[in-house]
Amino acid sequence: LACKADEVRCKRIDVDYASHSAHVERIHDQLLEVLADLSPRASQVPLFSTVTGELLDTAGMDGEYWYTNLRRTVR
């Protein structure tokens, strides 16, 4: 409600864990299994990571990267 009062767009997401917290650790193996076939490749557009805050080599955005993205605090 505070976000809406401040006119900040927000939306509830129907999940049973809190993203960007230790709650994500329990889905680590499941997430890596689901993302196992992911084939990241280099991007022509520079991308700054919300995990590290640094320029990212998108060819390395594998399942472990996405787990880390979901687990760590957004920068």
Contacts of 55 (CB under 8 A, 6+ apart): 46, 47, 48, 49
Q: Which residue has the higher pLDDT, 13 or 60?
A: 60
Would you call 56 helix, strand, or coil by DSSP? coil
Task: For residue range 2-44, list pLDDT tens digits in order.
Answer: 787 888 888 888 877 788 889 899 999 999 999 999 999 999 9
Contacts of 19 (CB under 8 A, 6+ apart): 13, 70
Spatial distance between the Cα atoms of 73 and 3, rounded to a whole number of angstroms: 19
